[in-house]
Chains A and B, each alone.
Chain A
């Protein structure tokens, strides 16, 4: 597999230059004292079959986080940069 990820700073690059940062989740818990909500946020994933928002860290390039939208069924990246 040789996925290409488009980095807004560096252009299209091999996926091996990136670390996968997973599905993009809301970082701030809905109400910090909601322990159960925090558990869900930390441990549960949507595991979406289709277009998902996600993050990649371009460790071998600009060393910045990149947000993308990828179709998990076809590995196609969509416009977002």
Chain B
């Protein structure tokens, strides 16, 4: 049975410079205990020694730094993965901590002292804060990126059962037998914390039944951290964050044995019964030489019997006394000194338990001992149940029937298989043990809150559970109230019986501790869109950057060369990221006419028109082209990142007006390459038989042509201000077309251009970029695009709003500016006129053609008149500029109409 007697040494880890061997089945805590470590941590505020106490992951005593990660519950963490373990608390060390002097200074540090004492002088606070943060706390958070990247996984199940004890297993089995999909979540390994005996055998048999069925999924070493609306149960696993979407939830998280409050209750050597039972029964370790057991539950007698048997084998250890109520006295085996109806008054000792002072029948008595085992009742681990407000949740076993027998727990689990089963109410528990004498007893081990601090806070007026919690920080530590919440309620109820002020405090996630990085699971891999030509760009050495969700080439190494290729020669650009849609049907023209601010009805077949997209408030949210292919057949484009929103907008109005129209998103199915530059026609002529002259494909026209065997819908548009042809084609032929263009382009010294060159080219033409040059409340008039809005149309989306806005003064405008100096101001530079701040620069570049800086920027002009000269201030300095009229380049647009 006992692991340490038979199991071989199974690896080791470094503990503060010592090598600690591990046995099969060891946790870090049990390996350390075997290596004679008794001080597991120093307490949060007073730096008191703390030893093992619960061994069920409910108390803060065994928190250590493991492999650089602070505040790890070593009693729940297998020793196998540990390399470096250290106590994160105490100075200079947890073993010899000079800060334990703070306990003797406790009178100077009453509850909430830091709220009052560190206000003046003000300059002291940052220093005091730094010092206090070093003294208090649970270790140092690691810096830098984490080496593990946890992913998210979604699960859809009928039932999720949280807790792999008797109740949870029987609930899972019952649900699986009904044919439901079941997931069972267990924080450790099913059964691992139970000492050998009938219960452990029963659990093993149940687990066998559940896994034999095969339909249930059993997640071990996985912790449910909350129950959210949906319902959603996030479960932190070893490598994954499981997001479980169940139809209903069974909470079978059990109960923790009641934490008792008396002076000295935190000394190493004071144990909860289940903790010592695991230490002895599972790990085969001996808790101490002289053991006193305090029990008022049947389970307490089982712990006593386990200890007695262990003591009879280990001569060095003895159960000296048992404090039990009269009803249980019969159950104590002979040879143990039975003390009936006694209570613990105080645990004596300094740094370790030396004796316990008990009171029985009015007299007091001191029992020398080094181990005190407490089995005094149960507090349900019900925080998950309290998270759930409207979710279909029911509890099973100890969490609702605290202290129930294994058979009752099993029956209660079975009952939950019935979906109509009403949740069982948690039994009211919680007497406040030894309260009158216990002023120095710790209610909260996490934050070192003693009874007298409750009293203090109460006297200061914090007279409800919620206020007392916030002022004293009780229940706010790493155990999240597992041990102390019942005492908090009991204290308030004693002081103010029958009042609402004794309500349980609100339970909030996480129910169990988790790493911050677990919250970011799945966030490390953003959705990334690639065009078909992505690898072609990489092969050409393109520098790729984000553009919305897309990765696009910023440049191919030389922005200026790319610029001149467009202005003087010929260039290509991958513009497949544009939102591309087919709109067709009997009402297609009607939809577009009623939705767009431009006129659609008079677009001739095989012609296109630039259009703005306005919302109902009259504000610009996207722009694009509308191309007429025939009656009731249109091809429309939007910006690269605006397509999705534009689609939802089109569909919204098509639905609203109940129009007969099909809208097909062909963004991925169709790719597009822009061939631009004065020699674009010459280049394409080498690859096509079709005519491309101004008569066949005029500016604003479109045509189906075949380029190097690829059918292309060709649009003559002019975003960059040169002769250009957008070739829209089937995505699967995109690489073929790209290669053919670049191959034929060799004779022209062709080079592709990226976004950097594009932004300069379009700025020279004064074209705005939606989102960069516009705000959420940009009307067409403010950016000089009124020409694209036909107010004489009877209807379009945003028309009424624009009518209303027209009666208001326009106080801001986006204006073109030139900067004569050797540089352009940075984008975002602040603009001043006559020394007064008037706005900011949204786009700027140095124009090689004009030989000066050019920019677009917002200028406030409440009086109506624009300033003629402005000064731009950026991180480098000031630039003097002039407000001009756009476009900067080829204002008459002769080049693009060539």
Interface pair B617/A42, CB less than 8 Å apart: yes
Q: Which residues of A contact B91 (CB under 8 A)?
A: none
Q: Counting CB contacts under 8 A, is B784 at the interface?
A: no
Bound state CA distance, A57 and B646, in angstroms? 12
**CB nearest to B651 among chain A residues:** A65
Interface pair A4/B230, CB less than 8 Å apart: yes
Q: Counting CB contacts under 8 A, is A59 at the interface?
A: yes
**CB nearest to B231 among chain A residues:** A2
Within A1-17, the residues touching B (CB, 8 Å) are 1-4, 14
Q: Which of A27, A59, A76 contacts B656 (CB 8 A)?
A: A27
**CB nearest to A29 among chain B residues:** B800
- B153 smallest CB distance to A (angstroms): 14
Q: Which residues of A contact B652 (CB under 8 A)?
A: 21, 55, 57, 65
Q: Which of A1, A2, A64, A75 contacts B651 (CB 8 A)?
A: A64
Q: Given that A38-B804, A59-B648 are known contacts, is A1 also in contact with B228, CB under 8 Å in the complex? A: yes
Q: Which residues of B contact A27 (CB under 8 A)?
A: 653, 656-657
Bound state CA distance, A60 and B570, in angstroms? 39
17 residue pairs bridging A and B, Cβ less than 8 Å apart: A1-B228, A1-B232, A2-B228, A2-B231, A2-B243, A2-B245, A4-B245, A14-B230, A27-B653, A27-B656, A35-B800, A35-B804, A38-B804, A63-B647, A64-B651, A74-B390, A75-B229
Q: Which residues of B contact A49 (CB under 8 A)?
A: none
- B646 smallest CB distance to A (angstroms): 12
Bound state CA distance, A64 and B652, in angstroms? 8
Q: Counting CB contacts under 8 A, is B665 at the interface?
A: yes
Q: Counting CB contacts under 8 A, is B803 at the interface?
A: yes
Q: Counting CB contacts under 8 A, is B655 at the interface?
A: yes
Bound state CA distance, A39 and B653, in angstroms? 19
Bound state CA distance, A10 and B168, in angstroms? 33
Q: Given that A32-B800, A42-B617 are known contacts, is A63 also in contact with B229, CB under 8 Å in the complex? A: no
Q: Which residues of A contact B232 (CB under 8 A)?
A: 1-2
Interface pair B229/A57, CB less than 8 Å apart: no
List 6 A-B pairs, minimum CB-CB distance, nearest first: A2-B230, A2-B232, A38-B800, A35-B804, A57-B648, A27-B656
Bound state CA distance, A38 and B798, in angstroms? 10
Q: Which residues of B contact A3 (CB under 8 A)?
A: 229-230
**CB nearest to B649 among chain A residues:** A57
**CB nearest to B803 among chain A residues:** A35
Q: Counting CB contacts under 8 A, is B129 at the interface?
A: no
Interface bin, chain B? 20 to 34
Bound state CA distance, A3 and B647, in angstroms? 24
Q: Which residues of B contact A35 (CB under 8 A)?
A: 800, 803-804
Q: Counting CB contacts under 8 A, is B801 at the interface?
A: yes
Bound state CA distance, A38 and B805, in angstroms? 12
Within A40-68, the residues touching B (CB, 8 Å) are 41-43, 55, 57, 59, 63-65
- A40 smallest CB distance to B (angstroms): 11
| Chain A residue total in the interface (Cβ 8 A) | 26
**CB nearest to A28 among chain B residues:** B656
Q: Which of B230, B616, B644, B657 contacts A59 (CB 8 A)?
A: B644
Q: Which residues of B contact A33 (CB under 8 A)?
A: 800
Q: Counting CB contacts under 8 A, is B795 at the interface?
A: yes
Q: Which residues of B contact A42 (CB under 8 A)?
A: 616-617, 801
Interface pair B651/A43, CB less than 8 Å apart: no
Bound state CA distance, A27 and B232, in angstroms? 35
Bound state CA distance, A21 and B795, in angstroms? 23
Over the window 634-675 of chain B, the binary record of Cβ atoms lying under 8 Å from chain A Cβ atoms (1 yes, 0 no) is: 000000000010011001110111000000010000000000
**CB nearest to A39 among chain B residues:** B804
Q: Which residues of A contact B644 (CB under 8 A)?
A: 59
Interface pair B647/A43, CB less than 8 Å apart: no
Q: Which residues of B contact A4 (CB under 8 A)?
A: 230, 245
**CB nearest to B799 among chain A residues:** A32
Over the window 215-244 of chain B, the binary record of Cβ atoms lying under 8 Å from chain A Cβ atoms (1 yes, 0 no) is: 000000000000011111000000000010
- A51 smallest CB distance to B (angstroms): 15
Q: Which residues of A contact B804 (CB under 8 A)?
A: 35, 38-39
Interface pair A2/B617, CB less than 8 Å apart: no
Interface pair A32/B245, CB less than 8 Å apart: no
Over the window 584-618 of chain B, the binary record of Cβ atoms lying under 8 Å from chain A Cβ atoms (1 yes, 0 no) is: 00000000000000000000000000000000110
Q: Which residues of A contact B800 (CB under 8 A)?
A: 29, 32-33, 35, 38
**CB nearest to A31 among chain B residues:** B800
Q: Which of A1, A38, A39, A74 contacts B230 (CB 8 A)?
A: A1
Within B734-764, the residues touching A (CB, 8 Å) are none
Q: Which residues of B contact A75 (CB under 8 A)?
A: 229, 390
Over the window 451-492 of chain B, the binary record of Cβ atoms lying under 8 Å from chain A Cβ atoms (1 yes, 0 no) is: 000000000000000000000000000000000000000000
Q: Which of B245, B617, B657 contacts A14 (CB 8 A)?
A: B245
Within A63-81, the residues touching B (CB, 8 Å) are 63-65, 74-76
Interface pair A19/B648, CB less than 8 Å apart: yes
- B791 smallest CB distance to A (angstroms): 13
Interface pair B617/A43, CB less than 8 Å apart: yes
- A75 smallest CB distance to B (angstroms): 6
Over the window 798-812 of chain B, the binary record of Cβ atoms lying under 8 Å from chain A Cβ atoms (1 yes, 0 no) is: 001101100000000
Interface pair A63/B230, CB less than 8 Å apart: no
Bound state CA distance, A44 and B274, in angstroms? 60
- B270 smallest CB distance to A (angstroms): 41
- B662 smallest CB distance to A (angstroms): 12
Interface pair A65/B655, CB less than 8 Å apart: yes
- A64 smallest CB distance to B (angstroms): 7
Interface pair A38/B228, CB less than 8 Å apart: no
Bound state CA distance, A57 and B644, in angstroms? 11
Bound state CA distance, A3 and B245, in angstroms? 10
- A71 smallest CB distance to B (angstroms): 10
Bound state CA distance, A3 and B655, in angstroms? 25
Bound state CA distance, A13 and B538, in angstroms? 37
Q: Which residues of A contact B657 (CB under 8 A)?
A: 27
Interface pair A38/B795, CB less than 8 Å apart: no
- A24 smallest CB distance to B (angstroms): 10
**CB nearest to A43 among chain B residues:** B617
Q: Given that A3-B230, A38-B801, A59-B648 are known contacts, is A32 also in contact with B795, CB under 8 Å in the complex? A: yes
**CB nearest to A74 among chain B residues:** B390
Q: Which of B245, B616, B651 contacts A63 (CB 8 A)?
A: B651
**CB nearest to B657 among chain A residues:** A27
Q: Which residues of A contact B616 (CB under 8 A)?
A: 41-42
Bound state CA distance, A12 and B617, in angstroms? 33
**CB nearest to B230 among chain A residues:** A2
- A1 smallest CB distance to B (angstroms): 5
- B229 smallest CB distance to A (angstroms): 5
**CB nearest to B795 among chain A residues:** A32
Q: Given that A29-B800, A32-B795 are known contacts, is A65 also in contact with B231, CB under 8 Å in the complex? A: no
Q: Given that A59-B648, A74-B390 are known contacts, is A1 also in contact with B229, CB under 8 Å in the complex? A: yes
Bound state CA distance, A77 and B870, in angstroms? 56
- B111 smallest CB distance to A (angstroms): 35
**CB nearest to B618 among chain A residues:** A42
Q: Which residues of B contact A55 (CB under 8 A)?
A: 652
Bound state CA distance, A76 and B231, in angstroms? 12
